[in-house]
Structures are given as structure tokens and as C-alpha cells.
């Protein structure tokens, strides 16, 4: 959602203008699943879906939040933190406050409007995104809180482990803190040493949300972690990361069969991560794809955290030409899979998933072509003196346009020029949606076309009198954003200026 729209909603809720913008991304893990809590290696990348807060510091110890995703208020005092039962979205923010105070920081509160486009419960780590965005908000509101990315990640992990009650590893918070544009991040989860690894050229990472959500805190995740700890203890090592594949094979008979399967996955997955880094540095996309597919088979057969929906996506992906590899990503038990796809084949791959997957599973997938994003940040935010909202008065429905929307800096995939309109191209956005984009909106960068500015080809149905944010106008059409963060084009003549709502 555009920051100015968030600012307008903040004004509606709190009656003042926000002074800071905090954000943190979701993530996909290219390879290295269930290795983080075994002190091993992971290779995630931050994605261009994120949680944003616009906020304003308070002088007292109250934190007041309004979630646009849930259309819900939450308020709590920093001196009286209590977890909800069952845990809710605000508990991740409370947990961060608790962890900061446990680390010795005296905090003032803030007011904030929160919005995220990281799908919730799909394995793209919306929880770490809101935790890290909240840490950024506390840093913006408390000048004495100045944390390194590694320290912030550790505190966010502690919040989720000890306050929310999910025994997650450190990977999600680390990549949310340290993501880099154009790179994945090799993380040693024992030492927190990290190295940026450039993404290979000529391929796209496509995320497929299976539509089969998982409840991570109530799943077998904690059980798998306990099994790994038991296996390490029986093998006499601090963590499974301390075994090579050869050492494990020589000692596996000392474990019960179930624990042996769990340990085999972790030990070999660590080796696959290091091999994947070498493949990426050599731009060996065939080797990288093969390692990703091996990872999925191990997660399915040895660690037993896949699902029929995830397996269906991987099977369809691997039967599609110029898809180099595919695997589930995240903790499993539902959620998302990823595929490494030739850039020129992205449209075909998306169309095939959209056609075959519902027929196999009865579920509707959501697809995102993901670019690597930067990590969590905050910045001062100064909204305009009068928030530029307009009242939409539609004389008629605008003609339907194909549903493509993207923001400045997003990668898009240019397909063919539109034969009927010069300077317009058929393109796909990061979610795999197709539409026409004027060539002035994009520029070539590293074999990709990157948007110079926001663009949306989607028709946005509006009611007479509905408030919208005017983003820009071009050739008689206006790009607007409604109160739900949805963007689209309407004729300029359908809009009349109006004062902001009070």
C-alpha cells in the first residue's frame, strides 16, 4: 500500500499526521529448510512483499495499532504486556516490546497504522516481517534504541520463541533484517556470519502459494525441532550441523529409524546449501535447480513436512520445460513452493500452474514473481500539508483493462509489443498478472525490465462518492488507490477534488 494512503488512514484513525515509516520484507528460502534451528546453513532472499507501519511517537507507554489487513484496533501498555489467548496479530508486536525491555531498553510507545502484503500463513514469514517492522518503529520512536541488524534479529526471534510461543530459528528474522537487492544471503545460523550471494542471471524465482494455509504454532514444527535435538544428543554432538554426510552415515545405526530420517535430511540439507552457493556463484542454474529439487524430495520423504498441495506444485513445475528446479519453502505442512524458471518461460509456467493445479487439488493458487529486496528500515516521514485525496464520481464504467499492477523498482517481464497501440507492451508483473504497460514506465537492468515508477493497468470499480488517493494522471487516465490499498485506472474526468475526510 502506498505510504501516502497509509498516512491518510493514520490521519483518519488518530487525527494527526505520522512522522515515520517503518518496513520489513517477507522472505523465501531458496534452500536450507529446517537447518536454522540445528545451527546450520540457510540461503534465503528477502522478497518485494513487506509489512509497513506509518506511525507517530508517544510520550507515554501506550502502543496503539490499527491493522488495515484485519480492520482491527489493538492497544497495550508497555508496563503491562500480556499475550492474547489464542495469540493474535498484535502479539508479535507485544513480543518485540517485551524482548526489547528484557534487553534493558526503556521504551516509549507509538501510534501506528499497519499494512502488509506478505500472505499470512503461507510460509513467506509474515511473522518475522511484522516483528522486524515493529522493531524499526520502536527505534524510530526511541532515539536511544540503536540496534545492529543482527541484534534486532536476535530480539525478534526471542519475541517469537518466548512470548508468542513458536520455537522458530533465526533465519526469518536475519533475512528480514539483512536482505540485499539482487542477492540471496548465506547465513551461518550458529555464528550469524552472512555473505551476500548474487542471484543467477536469466532466471526468475516464482512463488506459488498453494492456498492451503498452515497454523505453524500448532503444527508439528516444534515436534521436528525436538526430534533433531534428541538425535544430536544421542550422536554426541552439540547440533546436527556438526556432522558431515559421511560422518552421519557411519553413525546412523545408533539412532532409532525415525530420528535417523530426520537427521539425514538436516545433515544433507546443510551440504546442499553450500553446494547451491557454489552453483550460484558459477551461474550454474541447472545444478542449482537440481539441488532445490533434491531438497524437496528430502523434505517430503525424510522430514515429512510436505503436503499433497506442495507436491502437486512441484510435480507440475518439474514437468514444465525450462523449469530448472522446484521445492517447498518455509516450514511446510502447507503454504508455498518456489520454482526456478527461465525468464522467457515465466508466462508459460504461470499459465500451466493456473490450469493444472486447481484440477489436481481443487484449490486456487496465487503466484508471485519475486525480486530480491532490501532488509528492514525506517525513515522519517513527512506527509504533505493536506493529504491529496479526491472524491470519485463516476459518470460511467471505464473500459476493462487486464489486471497488472506494480510499483517503482519492481521487475516486470516484457513479452511482446501490442500490435494495436504503439509504445505499449504486453508484460507480466511480479504476481504473474498480465497487462499492457507503456514503454516509458520501464528500463532495462540486468536482463530484466524495471519500472521507473508505479504502474497499474487494473480497472478499479468505485462507488459514487468513494474516497481515493490520486497517485498520478497520464493521457486522460488517473491512477488511484482506494481505502483497501487496491490500485487502478479511472478516467480523470470521473474525479473531482475534495477535502480529506475527518
Contact 368, 213 (CB under 8 A): no
User: What sign does the dihedral 435-437-442-445 (CA atoms) show?
Assistant: positive
Bridge partner residues of 413 (DSSP): 428
CA distances from 191 to 178, 345, 410, 421 (A): 15, 39, 33, 56
How far is Cα 410 from Cα 431, in angstroms, rounded to an integer? 11
Choosing from 36, 172, 410, 429, the catalytic residue is 172
How far is Cα 110 from Cα 381, in angstroms, rounded to an integer? 14
| Ramachandran assignment for 38, one of left (phi > 0), alpha (psi -120 to 50 degrees), beta (any other) | alpha
Crossing angle of helices 257-281/285-301, nearest 10°?
Answer: 170
How far is Cα 42 from Cα 39, in angstroms, rounded to an integer? 10
Rg of the chain in Å (alpha carbons):
23
36 tagged catalytic? no
How far is Cα 108 from Cα 469, in angstroms, rounded to an integer? 32
> Is the peptide bond prior to 86 cis by the omega test (within 30 degrees of 0)?
yes
Residues designated catalytic: 172
Amino acid at each position: 500500500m502506498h505510504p501516502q494512503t497509509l498516512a491518510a488512514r493514520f490521519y483518519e484513525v488518530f487525527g494527526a499526521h505520522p512522522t515515520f515509516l517503518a518496513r520489513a520484507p517477507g522472505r523465501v528460502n531458496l534452500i536450507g529448510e529446517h537447518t536454522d534451528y540445528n545451527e546450520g546453513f540457510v540461503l534465503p532472499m528477502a522478497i518485494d512483499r513487506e509489512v509497513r507501519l506509518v506511525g507517530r511517537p508517544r510520550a507515554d507507554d501506550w502502543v496503539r495499532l490499527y491493522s488495515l489487513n484485519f480492520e482491527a484496533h489493538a492497544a497495550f501498555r508497555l508496563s503491562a504486556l500480556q499475550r492474547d489467548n489464542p495469540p493474535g496479530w498484535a502479539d508479535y508486536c507485544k513480543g518485540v516490546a517485551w524482548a526489547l525491555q528484557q534487553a534493558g531498553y526503556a521504551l516509549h510507545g507509538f501510534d501506528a497504522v499497519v499494512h502488509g502484503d506478505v500472505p499470512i500463513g503461507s510460509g513467506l514469514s509474515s511473522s518475522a516481517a511484522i516483528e522486524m517492522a515493529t522493531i524499526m518503529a520502536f527505534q524510530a520512536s526511541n532515539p536511544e534504541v540503536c540496534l545492529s541488524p543482527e541484534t534486532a534479529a536476535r530480539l525478534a526471534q526471542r519475541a517469537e520463541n518466548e512470548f508468542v510461543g513458536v520455537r522458530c530459528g533465526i533465519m526469518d528474522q536475519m533475512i528480514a533484517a539483512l536482505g540485499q537487492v539482487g542477492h540471496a544471503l548465506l547465513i551461518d545460523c550458529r555464528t550469524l556470519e552472512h555473505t551476500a550471494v548474487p542471484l543467477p542471471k536469466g532466471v526468475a524465482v516464482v512463488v506459488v502459494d498453494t492456498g492451503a494455509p498452515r497454523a505453524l504454532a500448532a503444527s508439528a514444527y516444534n515436534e521436528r525441532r525436538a526430534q533433531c535435538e534428541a538425535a544430536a544428543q544421542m550422536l554426541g554432538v552439540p547440533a546436527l550441523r556438526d556432522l558431515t554426510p559421511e560422518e552421519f552415515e557411519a553413525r546412523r545405526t545408533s539412532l532409532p529409524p525415525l530420528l535417523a530420517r530426520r537427521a539425514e535430511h538436516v545433515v544433507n540439507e546443510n551440504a546442499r546449501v553450500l553446494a547451491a552457493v557454489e552453483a550460484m556463484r558459477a551461474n550454474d542454474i541447472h545444478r542449482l535447480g537440481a539441488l532445490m529439487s533434491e531438497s524437496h524430495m528430502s523434505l517430503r520423504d525424510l522430514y515429512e513436512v510436505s503436503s499433497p498441495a506442495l507436491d502437486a506444485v512441484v510435480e507440475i513445475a518439474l514437468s514444465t520445460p525450462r523449469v530448472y528446479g522446484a521445492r517447498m519453502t518455509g516450514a511446510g505442512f502447507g503454504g508455498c513452493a518456489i520454482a526456478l524458471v527461465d525468464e522467457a518461460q515465466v508466462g508459460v509456467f504461470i499459465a500451466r500452474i493456473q490450469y493444472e493445479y486447481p484440477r489436481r487439488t481443487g484449490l486456487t493458487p496465487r503466484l508471485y514473481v519475486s525480486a530480491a529486496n532490501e532488509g528492514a528500515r525506517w525513515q522519517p516521514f513527512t506527509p504533505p500539508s493536506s493529504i491529496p485525496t479526491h472524491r470519485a464520481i463516476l459518470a460511467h464504467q471505464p473500459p476493462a483493462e487486464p489486471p497488472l499492477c506494480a510499483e517503482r523498482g519492481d521487475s516486470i517481464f516484457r513479452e511482446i509489443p501490442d500490435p494495436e497501440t504503439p509504445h505499449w507492451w504486453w508484460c507480466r508483473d511480479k504476481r504473474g498478472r498480465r497487462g499492457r504497460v507503456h514503454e516509458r514506465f520501464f528500463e532495462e537492468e540486468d536482463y530484466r525490465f524495471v519500472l521507473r515508477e508505479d504502474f497499474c493497468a487494473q480497472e478499479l470499480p468505485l462507488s459514487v462518492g468513494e474516497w481515493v488517493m490520486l497517485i498520478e494522471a497520464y493521457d486522460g487516465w488517473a491512477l488511484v488507490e482506494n481505502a483497501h490499498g487496491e490500485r487502478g485506472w479511472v478516467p480523470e474526468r470521473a474525479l473531482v477534488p475534495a477535502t480529506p475526510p475527518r
